[in-house]
Amino acid sequence: MRLDAPQTIGVKKATAPRLEVRNVSCTFDGREVVRNVSFQVEPGEIMCLLGPSGCGKSTTLRVVAGIERQSAGSVHADGKMLCNEVFATPPEARGVGLIFQDFALFPHLTVGQNIAFGLKGSKSEMRARVDELLERVDLAGYADKTPHMLSGGEQQRVALARALAPRPRIMLMDEPFSGLDNRLRDGIRDETLQLLKEEGTAVVLVTHEPEEAMRMADQIALMRDGQIVQKGAPYNIYNAPCDKAAAAFFSDINVIRGRVEGLLTNTVFGQFLAPAVADGAEVEIVFRPQHVKLDFDRNGRGPNPTPQDGVPARGVVERARFMGHESLVEFRMDFDGGKLKATVPGVFLPKPGTPLWLSVRRDRCFVFPPKG
Ligand SMILES: Nc1ncnc2c1ncn2[C@@H]1O[C@H](COP(=O)(O)OP(=O)(O)O)[C@@H](O)[C@H]1O
Ligand SMILES: [Mg+2]
């Protein structure tokens, strides 16, 4: 054993995240379109910036890429600063790959030349890397074709191979799948995901589609008006949204109101816990249509209340539609004439006017104090 062995042997090294975005803000013409955005991405992890159009997702990504300058905050890769308010590493020196929606392959170059475009090294090394990547994206033998001979999905896979070729530490993807038709999209998403995981790339994926985020992301950062309003695993964001708008971003929601008395809210569906809300305050109880349970009407009576499902309330079917893997039933409720929605797996199409009883899973309800 060497006596001058490093002292740190056996001590876990605290490694910096692959990508860290720290308190980044971005201002255009005096308007702050990105505000104090922070997140971290580890190798092999997919972080999704999710939010409606115009909320600042692409601007955030462009700051990381180095094609936009922030007004405040910094970006770091493996502990090294890439940029802050006054300093910026040029885009090409960041070790970052980019894929955008309108990924343009060079039309006059072959598939192989497209993929080799950003590569350095000997001809044989480049050829080997191109062949390896073509195999990975299931396009072995396509090296000598030109882009116009390829379908949209094949072109997208070439774009992915091209972006991966120089082995970027970080991959930035801005709505990369939205130009593809639905049937192609699922397959390409899954293949892309697997490839990026295998390469150990840290990925930031921008999308406005919650399904895409749920399908692809390890972590979702939900953005609104330039800010991250909630961050977490897809499961957590879906099941514990921070507010009504966050809940509504992922599915239809139902909302009922109640007034708080001693930590509880009494509603027609029974009592709900409303911790940390002052007595007398009105709260909104939010639940998704898939967490509504339906029961048949038995001479004007519904099922007995249970601790799990609370008290049933009666409604009359207004409309029922088959949605593919589930049916969506809309009700006009007896108690206040308001509308509530329920989804039922498979085919369930009761006639308009049918009375049914609705109850709501307690553990699937979110209680929010109203805004403002
Ligand atoms: N170069 C620019 N100059 C002025 N305003 C811009 C510029 N780029 C984006 N914006 C504005 O910043 C806001 C956020 O845009 P963007 O980041 O593209 O949102 P998203 O990608 O979430 O749809 C929008 O209101 C947009 O109009
Ligand atoms: Mg955008």
Domain boundaries, the chain: 19-245, 251-368
- Counting from 1 in the atom list of ligand 1, the atom nearest the Cα of 223 is 22
Q: Which ligand is nearest to the CA of 102?
A: 2
User: Ligand 1: which of 25, 59, 64, 223 to mutate, most ligand atoms within 8 Å of CB?
Assistant: 59
**Could you tell me the distance, in angstroms and rounded to a whole number, from the CA of residue 51 to the centre of ligand 2?**
9
82 versus 138: the higher-pLDDT residue is 82
Indicate which residue's Cα is closest to atom 14 of ligand 1: 56
Tens digit of pLDDT for each residue in 14-63? 789 999 999 999 999 999 999 999 999 999 999 999 999 999 999 999 99
Indicate which residue's Cα is closest to atom 7 of ligand 1: 28
Question: What residues line ligand 1, using a CB cutoff of 6 Å?
Answer: 28, 33, 51, 53-59
- Counting from 1 in the atom list of ligand 1, the atom nearest the Cα of 53 is 23
Q: For the residues 94-108, what does the mean pLDDT come to?
A: 86
What confidence score (pLDDT) does residue 11 get?
55
Does 164 score more than 60 pLDDT? yes
**Could you tell me the distance, in angstroms and rounded to a whole number, from the CA of residue 58 to the centre of ligand 2?**
4
- Counting from 1 in the atom list of ligand 1, the atom nearest the Cα of 52 is 22
**CATH architecture observed for domain 19-245:** 3-Layer(aba) Sandwich (3.40)
What confidence score (pLDDT) does residue 372 get?
54
197 versus 20: the higher-pLDDT residue is 20
Indicate which residue's Cα is closest to atom 18 of ligand 1: 58
Fold for the domain defined by 251-368: OB fold (Dihydrolipoamide Acetyltransferase, E2P) (2.40.50)
With beta carbons less than 8 A apart as the criterion, state whether 330 and 292 touch.
no
Listed residues: CB within 5 A of ion ligand 2: 58
Q: Supply 42's token pair.
A: 């580890």
Q: Which residues of 329-362 are buried (b: 16+ CB within 10 A; e: fewer)?
A: bbbbbeeeeeebbbbbeeeeebeeebebbbbbeb
**Could you tell me the distance, in angstroms and rounded to a whole number, from the CA of residue 54 to the centre of ligand 2?**
7
Phi-psi region of 296 (alpha: psi -120 to 50; beta: other; left: phi over 0): beta
Q: Which ligand is nearest to the CA of 54?
A: 1
What confidence score (pLDDT) does residue 190 get?
85
Average pLDDT, the chain: 91
Please give the share of the chain, as a percent, with pLDDT higher than 90: 71
What confidence score (pLDDT) does residue 351 get?
97
**Could you tell me the distance, in angstroms and rounded to a whole number, from the CA of residue 26 to the centre of ligand 1?**
10
- pLDDT band at 186, cuts 50/70/90? confident
